[in-house]
Structure formats: C-alpha cells, structure tokens
Amino acid sequence: GLIERIKSPFDSSKKILVVCGLNQHGTRAAVLALVKHTNEFRNEITARVVEGFDEDGDGLVDSVEFLE
C-alpha cells in the first residue's frame, strides 16, 4: 500500500492525502497504517510504502510494516 501527501493542483495552499494499494489487501494495509499510526503522519512526511501481514490467519490484514 501507499500513503502519500501531495500539493493540490487546484489550490496551492491545500494538500491531498492519497491512500491506495494494488489490490484490496494493499489498500487495507495503507488504511490500517494510517489509522494505527496517525501521529507519524502529522509530520511533514510526503510518502510511505507499507506492507500488510495476516497475523491470525483469517485472511485479513491485521498488522503493517513500513518499508519506506
């Protein structure tokens, strides 16, 4: 998954938060990272790549690790 903060092309005083993944698991990992590690994204971090893991074997992403 990817979490990125970019400048708005429409208003230079605004920013856009992009949360995405290649599939549903990547997107879920990005959203989970954003929810669980909110304080980390309040700084001027422009982009983070996350990987999701299924800790309990139920087929859903439970935890995340920051790769970049």
The mean per-residue pLDDT over the stretch 10-33 comes to 93
The 10 Å CB-count burial string (b at 16+, else e) for 51-65 is bbeeeeeeeebeebe
Segment 50-68, tens digit of pLDDT: 999 988 888 889 899 899 7
> Would you say residue 45 has pLDDT above 80?
no
> How open is the CA angle 49-39-65, to the nearest 5 degrees?
30
- Cβ neighbors of 16 (< 8 A, separation 6 or more) are 5, 6, 7, 8
Q: Share the mean pLDDT of the chain.
A: 89
